[in-house]
Amino acid sequence: MSRQLTFDLPARPSHARGDFFVSPSNADAVAAIDRPEAWPNGRLVLVGPQGAGKTHLAHVWAGAEGARLTAASELETADIAALGEAAALVVEDWDALTPDGAAPAFHLVNLLQARGGRLLCTGRLPPPRWPIDLPDLASRMQASGVATLDPPDDALLANLLVKLFADRQIAPEPALIPWLVQRIERSHDAAEAVVAALDRAALASRRGVTRALARRVLDNGGGVTT
């Protein structure tokens, strides 16, 4: 009998609109990106913890609007004039903006506002708590609209687990999802951690992802808080 090989393949996350599950914890943010004409000064900031779905939602909007995407950490060396010509732009992780990126960021915001371009930003914290030393830039960003993604409710957590398993091409035992929802920390990071831990455990044991396997993983810590 030939030996079955196992491969620890990277997850391939999907950012399709259909893979973003709308629940009470994120419905306001989804409604906000669907109405860019209502954004104050043509800007909206998506706020939420790591893994809350900010990147997914930003990619959904970028796909619908044909927007360019960049990161705040790249603005220091970016071609600001070219970015400022975009009709729609996504800049992720604005609370990670470097001090040397503040002046280029201010120039970019002014260019977009002058041309009527729309700017979607993401950050873990709301604009008043961003470490921006340039007062004019801080003032501009605090005049943006803000939409918050809250920690997941039961329905969202269940669908997030399903999506994370699907990203890894894993078909878990059906009873596993509601079992995990009642036992892991109510956060996107915890969901990602438990799915990754179960993937590793299944590869090591060469067995399917079942509730029995999950119990062993959680009993051993599994990188999650129960």
Condensed to tens digits (0 to 9), the pLDDT of residues 144-165 reads 999 999 888 888 899 889 989 9
Joined together, the tokens standing for residue 133 give 């030393």
Q: What is the residue type of 194? A: V
SS (H, E, C) 109-155: HHHHHHHCCEEEEEECCCHHHCCCCCHHHHHHHHCCEEEECCCCCHH
Taking alpha carbons only, the member of 99, 118, 100, 138 closest to residue 34 is: 118
- Say what the pLDDT of residue 14 is: 46
Distance CA 209, CA 206 (A): 10
In DSSP terms, 142 is beta-bridged to: none
Q: CATH number for 154-219: choose from 2.170.140, 1.10.8, 1.20.120, 1.10.3470.
A: 1.10.8
Condensed to tens digits (0 to 9), the pLDDT of residues 48-69 reads 987 778 888 999 999 999 999 9
List the domain boundaries for the chain. Answer: 17-148, 154-219
Specify the fold of 17-148. Rossmann fold (3.40.50)
Whole-number CA gyration radius for the chain? 20
**Separate counts of helices (H) and strands (E) for the chain:** 9, 5
Give the mean pLDDT of 171-190: 90
